[in-house]
A and B are shown apart, each in its own frame.
Chain A
Amino acid sequence: MEDLLINVDWVEIGWASWDTLVMVGLSLLFSVLIGLPLGVLLFLTGKRQLLEQPAVYSVLSFLVNVLRSVPFIILLIVMIPVTVMIIGTSLGVAGAIPPLVAGGAPFFARLVETSLREVDRGIIEATQAMGANIRQIIFGALLPEALPGIIAAVTVTAITLVSYAAMSGVVGGGGLGDLAIRFGYQRFQTDVMVITVALLVIFVQLLQMAGDRLVLYFSRR
Chain B
Amino acid sequence: MTETLLETAGLCRAFGPLKAVDDVSIAVKAGTITGLIGPNGAGKSTLFNLLTGVLAPDAGKIRLKGEDVTGLPPDALFTRGLGRTFQIPRPFARMSVLENVMMAPVGQTGERVWGPFVGAGRVRAEEARIRARALEVLDFVTLAPLADHPAGKISGGQRKLLELARVLMGDPEVILLDEPAAGVNPSLTATLIEKIEALNRQGKTFVIIEHDMDFIMRHCDPVIAMAEGRLVFEGSAAEAQANPVLLEAYLGTMVHG
| A and B interact | no
